[in-house]
Chains A and B, each alone.
Chain A
C-alpha cells in the first residue's frame, strides 16, 4: 500500500487569502486524485492527474503533478468560506481500493 503524506493537517485562513496543500509519497504515483469532503457528506472528486508535470485548473483551484509523479499540490486563490472542508489526496482505486492521505482540514473565515 502506497503511503501518502499530506500537509498541512490543519489550516485556518481569512477569506481572500491564498493557500497551498501538498501531497507526497516516496513512491511513484500511477495517478493521483484530489477530493473535497464537507461535514456529513462523502468525498467529491475534484480532479485526477496522471501525467508528470501536469497542471489542471478548476476555477480558483490549481492542481499540479510533480515531474517525477511523487508529489502533487493544490493551490487555492482568493479562498472563500465555501472552500471550507477536508481536502484529501488519494491514489489507487482499482481492486485494492483508494489509499488516502490524512487530509487537510481547511477553514476559511469570513
Chain B
C-alpha cells in the first residue's frame, strides 16, 4: 500500500521564478494538506484541499496556490519565488473532515526547494 508520494524530491529555482510541486495521497485518503518546513523549524500549515476545493488556509500569501484533481492528487504552486521560500514542502493526506480518524495525517517525504 503506497503512502504519500511527492515529486520532485529536490529542485533549485531562482528568485522570481514559479514552481509546481505534486502530491499523490495515500490510498483511501481524499483530503490533502500542504505544509512548509524551513530548515530547523516545525512544519507550518499552508492550506487543505477536499473535494477539489481549498477548505482552509494558513498565514501564507496569495503567491501560494493549489489544486486538487478528481483522483485526489494535488499540486502546490508558488509564484514570484523569494529567497525565504526555500524550505521542505510537505504534503499530508487524510480522510475527509468529520470521518473517524480525520485528524490522523500521513506525510510524504517532501520536496526540498532551494531558491537562489
User: How close is B87's CB to chain A, nearest CB, in angstroms?
Assistant: 13
- The one of A44, A88, A96 in contact with B42, judged by C-beta atoms closer than 8 angstroms, is A88
Cα–Cα distance between A67 and B80 once the two chains are bound (Å): 48
Other-chain contact of B45, A33, A48, A99 (Cβ < 8 Å): A99
In the complex, which range does the number of interface residues on chain B fall in?
20 to 34
A95→B42 contact, CB < 8 A? no
B41 partner residues in chain A, CB cutoff 8 A:
102-103
Chain B residues in 8 Å Cβ range of A95: 48, 55-56, 97
- Smallest Cβ distance from A92 to chain B, in angstroms? 7
Our pick among B47, B105, B108, B112 for the contact of A98 (Cβ within 8 Å) is: B105
SS of A interface (majority):
loop
Q: Does A25 contact B (CB under 8 A)?
A: no
Number of residues from A at the complex interface, CB < 8 A: 23
**CB contact under 8 A between A98 and B45, given known A43-B107, A93-B104:** yes
Residues of B within 8 A of A105 (CB): 40
In the bound assembly, the distance between CA atoms of A94 and B99 in angstroms comes to 10
Q: Are A42 and B110 in contact (CB-based, < 8 A)?
A: yes
Whether B102 pairs with A93 at a CB distance below 8 angstroms is yes
| B35-A97 in contact (CB<8A) | yes
Pick the contact of A94: B103, B110, B112 (CB < 8 A).
B103
Interface assignment of A40: CB less than 8 Å from any CB of chain B: yes
Provide the residues of chain A in CB contact with B107, threshold 8 Å: 42-44
Question: Given A48-B104, A94-B103, is A100 in contact with B109 using a C-beta cutoff of 8 Å?
Answer: no
Q: 10 tightest CB-CB pairs across the interface, nearest first?
A: A97-B45, A93-B103, A42-B107, A100-B42, A95-B56, A103-B42, A43-B107, A95-B55, A42-B90, A41-B109
